[in-house]
Amino acid sequence: MSAAPVKSEPQFLDTLPKIRIYIEGEKIDVSALNLDQTSRYLVRRQNEHVSNWIVTLNWEMVSRAFLNKNYRNELARATLFVPDGAPVVWWMRFLNQNKNLHPERVAGVDLILSILNRIAGTSLRIGIIGGRELSQSLKRLNFPLEQAGFLWDGPVYDRDDAQVKLFAQEVTKNALDFVFLALPSTKQTWLGPRLLELCPHITIVGVGGTFDYLGNRKRRAPLILQRLHLEWFWRLTTEPRTASRYLLLYPLGCFLLCVSWLKNKLGLRRALKSLK
């Protein structure tokens, strides 16, 4: 991959179709592109050597952002948010005032599969940090292993600057273009922007447990449940220990977001009245 100057991403992002969500004053601009448009956009921008830190936004992240200021500040550093969770899409549709925008869910599993299919056999190279049995997952997807320059399934420590530097060295040494963070959201939001600062030529995507599903170690919800936006219910029944947090965080996030929206509405109305 030949070196090239990093272009100005904010200027391009201003032209992207997006819908703004406010979380305690932080502006979160969520993409209104569909799955195919999103993967095409990311591959095209990487070919143009434009760096990106992508968060696949779900409702758990929204809820955590309300409850934890540090997490909220880290989350807001992303260059692009993709609506992974169905409640995120519903809220975008509620806020949307542009009839030409039709936001839809871009599931992290589908996005990564689309990117891998799009770049397979090209000169673009990937790395994966986190997850398990990564090479087996890529083999199962028939993705060329020679394009996978760095696969790290060892421990990823919390807020370890030394480890970030080691990851950055591997990214540079292996001339990676895409780096997928198969990590919990709290680790993604800390590691993503710091790795991008050290490697300002790559596209980083937070993917969580995506490769567990792509590697067939976990079963994804049946298609009918996906279409009904009930994947959370599937996870409650198949992973009760890890998914039971939905019962607390999802309703709490809904409540806090509605309260925040009402506060913004009332504040805007008061401001307009004071101008009269």
Query: Tens digit of pLDDT for each residue in 4-40?
Result: 333 434 444 447 899 999 888 888 999 999 999 999 9
134, with CB counted inside 10 A (0-12, 13-18, 19+), is buried
Query: Residue 95 in contact with residue 19, Cβ under 8 Å?
Result: yes
Cα separation, 26 vs 32, whole angstroms: 19
Tokens representing residue 163 in the block: 């480890």
pLDDT band at 210 (very low <50, low <70, confident <90, very high): confident
Q: What is the average per-residue pLDDT within 66-95? A: 93
pLDDT band at 219 (very low <50, low <70, confident <90, very high): confident
pLDDT given for residue 266 in this prediction: 74
Tokens representing residue 220 in the block: 């994804």
Count CB neighbours of 5 within 10 A. 8
Is 220 a residue whose pLDDT tops 80?
A: yes
* Average pLDDT score over the chain: 87
Tokens representing residue 263 in the block: 């506060």
Q: How far is CA 126 from the centre of its chain?
A: 16
H or E segment and range at residue 24: none
pLDDT given for residue 270 in this prediction: 58
Query: Residue 234 in contact with residue 47, Cβ under 8 Å?
Result: no
Name residues whose C-beta falls within 8 Å of residue 194's C-beta, 6 or more positions apart in sequence: 161, 164
Q: What is the average per-residue pLDDT within 89-111? A: 92
143 SS3 class: coil
> 198 to each of 153, 170, 222, 239, how far by Cα in Å?
21, 11, 40, 36
Report strand pairing: 52-57 vs 203-206.
Answer: parallel
Q: From 127, 166, 133, 167, select the one nearest 147 (Cα to Cα).
A: 127
H or E segment and range at residue 38: helix 35-47
Identity at 228, one-letter amino acid code: L
- Percent of the chain's residues with pLDDT above 70: 89
Please give the backbone phi and psi of residue 178, each rounded to the nearest 5 degrees, phi first. -115, 135
